[in-house]
Chain A
Amino acid sequence: MNPLDKPWAQLTLALLAVLVLPLFLKSGILATEILIFAMVVAACNLLLGYTGLLSFGQGIFFGIGTYAAGICLTRWQIPVPLVLAGAAVLGAATATLVGWLSIRRQGVYFVMLTLAFSQLFYFVAYTFSGVTGGDNGLLGVPRPSIAGTALNAPWSYYTFVAVCFVAVFAILVVVTQSTFGRTLLAIRENEGRAAAIGFPTRLFKIEAFAISGAVTAFGGALHAMLIGVAPLSNIEYHTSELILIMTIIGGSSSLFGSVLGAGFYLLLADALSTVWPRWLLLLGLVLVAVALFLQRGLWGLVERGYDLVFRRQRAPETPAEEH
Chain B
Amino acid sequence: MIYLFQVLNGIGLGMLYFLLAVGLSVIFGLLQFVNFAHGAFYLLGAYLTYDLTTRGFGFWAAMPLATLIVAGIAALIEAVLLHRIYKLPHTFHILVTVGLALVVQELVIIAWGPLGGSVPAPEGLQGVVILGDFIYPQYRLFTIGFTAVLAGLLWWLLEGTRLGAIVRGGSESPANMALLGYNTLRINTAVFGFGAGLAGLAGALAAPIRGVEPFMGIEALSVAFVVVVIGGMGSYTGALVAGLLVGVVQSVMTTLWPEGARLMIYVGMALVIALMPRGLLGRA
Q: Which residues of A contact B (CB under 8 A)?
A: 48, 54, 101, 104-105, 107-109, 111-113, 115-117, 119-120, 123-124, 126-127, 237, 241, 245, 248, 252, 278, 280-281, 283-288, 290-292, 295
Contact = CB atoms under 8 A, between A and B. Distances in A.
B67 to A, nearest CB: 24
B228 interface: yes
A123 B103 CA distance: 26
A105 B273 contact: yes
Contacts of B102: 280-281, 283-284, 287
B273 A104 contact: yes
Given A54-B90, A115-B225, A278 B274 contact: no
Nearest to A278: B106
B99 A291 contact: yes
| From A115, A284, A295, residue with most partner B Cβ within 10 Å | A284
B228 A285 contact: no
Given A105-B229, A116-B225, A127 B263 contact: yes
B96 A287 contact: yes
Contacts of B98: 241, 245, 284, 287
A177 to B, nearest CB: 24
Contacts, number: 111
B256 to A, nearest CB: 13
Given A104-B273, A112-B228, 19 more contacts: A107-B90, A112-B229, A115-B225, A116-B222, A117-B270, A120-B267, A120-B269, A123-B262, A123-B263, A126-B259, A126-B263, A127-B263, A281-B107, A283-B99, A285-B99, A285-B103, A287-B95, A288-B95, A292-B85
Contact of B85 (A109, A116, A119, A291): A291
A109 B229 contact: yes
B263 A284 contact: no
B226 interface: yes
Interface string B13-25: 0000000000000
B112 interface: no
B86 to A, nearest CB: 12
A17 B274 CA distance: 43
B103 A284 contact: yes
B115 to A, nearest CB: 14
A300 to B, nearest CB: 13
Interface in B80-108: 81, 84-85, 88, 90-92, 94-96, 98-103, 105-107
Contacts of A286: 99
